[in-house]
Amino acid sequence: MRTFRCILGVFMALALATAAFGASPADWDIIVVGGGNGGIPTAIAAANGGAKVLLLEKMPYLGGTLLVAGGQMSAANSKLQLAAGFKDSPEQHYADVMRLGGYRSNPRLLKLQTENAGWTIDWLADLGLKFDKNRPVYMDHHELYSVARSYQPIGSGAAVAKVLIAELNKCVARGDVEVRLETRATELVQNDQGAVIGVRAVGKDGQPLEFRAKHVVLATGGFGSNRELLAHYHGSKGRNALSYTPAFATGDGLQMATAIGADVSHMDLFIPMPGGIEDPNNPGWPLPVRLQLAPATAGYIWVNKLGQRFVNEDTLSPDEKEKAVLRQPDIVTYIILDGNVMDANKPIIANWTWDEFDAEAAKEQNFFKADSIAELAVKLGMNPEVLQATIDRYNGFVEEGRDLDFGRSQLVCKLERPPFYAVETKPMIYLTHGGLKVTADLEVVHVSGKIIPGLYALGEVVGMGQLAGNVLAGGMGNTPPITLGLLLGERLARTN
């Protein structure tokens, strides 16, 4: 009798716990965590392959980073590229990315991506996505590929999200995918053997939830908006860079997986993009203004906190600038200009007049104005003699028509006509390069080197570095989550 009561007690406790979590045993074939760029295609492909899918999204809407992204993609041998007559191949795409990224890509993952990127573009085009010029182009805001293989969706990333969501809705209408918005996954559920069998989450009204499935896919994006994780993995650079990523990019999947022993990869890589101006009212985040960097704007120079130049301001290699900024103290840099530069350019902040620029400088927050170089240096906390020497040397190069220090080509004007201005800039994080270590089958790897059964990851939660290595390679943020999501969803559906 005592034993029976005891057993009954255990059952009641289990029943209560189950009720508290709203738990349901293995109701789903696949749980996809994150309804963004990678999560939506995963859910679509899995559902089209016959799987029952639960898609959890913590925000009140789907789309993820695509909703704010430029949407640029890259692929070899799409129908559009072939029709335009460009000679390309997945092997050439692979070789380009490997070379640009310093041979740091995971070879098997990059091969999988480059071999399948072409039909990803075809698939999106078939869904109705339109691309600028109806063909790929060369794009120069990242390192140039050896052939035109960058695609700019008309309507940017939001247009990509729109076609993906429309396709997902068909699966929802069929009853093959359930989407739960405002449901934040918080923890992975494991069985006694360590296999992942579900997800704990917090629902709309804060209620705890638990879902069970045969496979769990993390597609939760990067951690560019999580200051603690940025500092943890990237030290002072992570602390000082500005977050240009959406506020939801908090590395949840990374944290859930590492909490059960998942390993990480490529965390030594961190490549924010130069030219952010910190919002004085929101430290760590940039002002919503666009600074026109050289070579689009001529004549200004770029100095570090010590008042020294550090790069060819006109270089056509974005990577050269990105890496040069990261080598400067506190990754803080200043654009220095004068009346001559103002005459030679439209305002260096897009959509501002020079008067607005001047008014901002009067506030002395990130914009500064002075009648002399020495006064400007003092305002910037620099040694006036160093800044003066830097500018004198630069003016000498302008006179000679040759930059002996950095080989700058546009030596438009001397910096000598007051007022002098400075704009303080910091690089901005668009995505994170490090993430969960995965196999070429996108299985998450444990620190022991074994895989964690039942757990998969793709997209920025695995970091851009595993695909693209040590560079911001054009289109290698947006395209891989879609390609790999489609491949993984289809494969997991087959293994059900």
Ligand X SMILES: Cc1cc2nc3c(=O)[nH]c(=O)nc-3n(C[C@H](O)[C@H](O)[C@H](O)COP(=O)(O)OP(=O)(O)OC[C@H]3O[C@@H](n4cnc5c(N)ncnc54)[C@H](O)[C@@H]3O)c2cc1C
Q: Which of residues 402-441 bind ligand X (CB under 6 A)?
A: 430-431
- Report the residue from 37, 77, 265, 483 that binds ligand X according to the rule CB under 6 A: 37
Is residue 397 a contact point for ligand X (CB under 6 A)?
no
Q: Which of residues 100-159 bind ligand X (CB under 6 A)?
A: none
By C-beta, is 69 or 213 nearer to ligand X? 69
- Report the residue from 162, 184, 234, 309 that binds ligand X according to the rule CB under 6 A: 184
Say how far apart CA 116 and CA 139 lie, in whole Å. Answer: 21
Residue 137 CB, shortest distance to ligand X, in Å, is 13
Residue 252 CB, shortest distance to ligand X, in Å, is 3
Q: For the residues of 354-423, what is the DSSP string, one character each?
A: HHHHHHHHHH-SSEEEESSHHHHHHHHT--HHHHHHHHHHHHHHHHHT--TTT--S-----S-SSPEEEE
Say how far apart CA 65 and CA 51 lie, in whole Å. Answer: 26
Considering only 54-62, 167-175, 323-331, 337-345, which stretch makes contact with ligand X by CB under 6 A?
54-62
Return the residue matching tokens 């072409």. Answer: 118
- Report the residue from 274, 307, 481, 489 that binds ligand X according to the rule CB under 6 A: 481
Is residue 483 a contact point for ligand X (CB under 6 A)?
no
Is residue 465 a contact point for ligand X (CB under 6 A)?
no
By C-beta, is 57 or 313 nearer to ligand X? 57
Are 285 and 278 spatial neighbours (Cβ–Cβ below 8 Å)? yes
DSSP annotation of 272: P
Is residue 28 a contact point for ligand X (CB under 6 A)?
no
Name the packing angle between helices 39-48 and 156-174 (round to 10°). 30
Q: Where are the alpha helices (DSSP H) in 288-353?
A: 318-326, 339-344
Q: How many residues bind ligand X (CB under 6 A)?
A: 39
> Apex CA 137: angle with CA 135 and CA 80, to 5°?
20
By C-beta, is 132 or 375 nearer to ligand X? 132
Residue 468 CB, shortest distance to ligand X, in Å, is 9
Considering only 125-133, 354-362, 402-410, 457-465, which stretch makes contact with ligand X by CB under 6 A?
457-465
By C-beta, is 33 or 423 nearer to ligand X? 33
- Report the residue from 459, 463, 465, 489 that binds ligand X according to the rule CB under 6 A: 459
Q: Which residues contact 160 (CB under 8 A, 6 or more apart)?
A: 37, 66, 71, 124, 129, 153, 478, 482
Q: 438 forms bridges with which residues in the sheet?
A: 444
Q: For the residues of 141-195, what is the DSSP string, one character each?
A: SSPPPSS--EE-BTTHHHHHHHHHHHHHHHHHHHTSEEEETT-EEEEEEE-TTS-
**Tokens describing residue 108:** 């098997």
Considering only 19-27, 101-109, 286-294, 477-485, which stretch makes contact with ligand X by CB under 6 A?
477-485
Say how far apart CA 129 and CA 126 lie, in whole Å. Answer: 7
Which residue has its beta carbon closest to ligand X?
36
Is residue 220 a contact point for ligand X (CB under 6 A)?
yes
Residue 340 CB, shortest distance to ligand X, in Å, is 33
Say how far apart CA 346 and CA 327 lie, in whole Å. Answer: 30
By C-beta, is 307 or 459 nearer to ligand X? 459
Q: What string marks each residue from 222 to 261 as x (binds ligand X by CB under 6 A) or -?
A: ----------------------xx--xx--x---------
Are 75 and 151 spatial neighbours (Cβ–Cβ below 8 Å)? yes
By C-beta, is 110 or 249 nearer to ligand X? 249
Say how far apart CA 334 and CA 315 lie, in whole Å. Answer: 17
Are 437 and 424 spatial neighbours (Cβ–Cβ below 8 Å)? no
Is residue 38 a contact point for ligand X (CB under 6 A)?
yes
**Residue numbers of the site for ligand X (CB under 6 A)?**
33-39, 56-59, 64-66, 68-72, 184-185, 219-221, 244-245, 248-249, 252, 430-431, 459-461, 475-478, 481
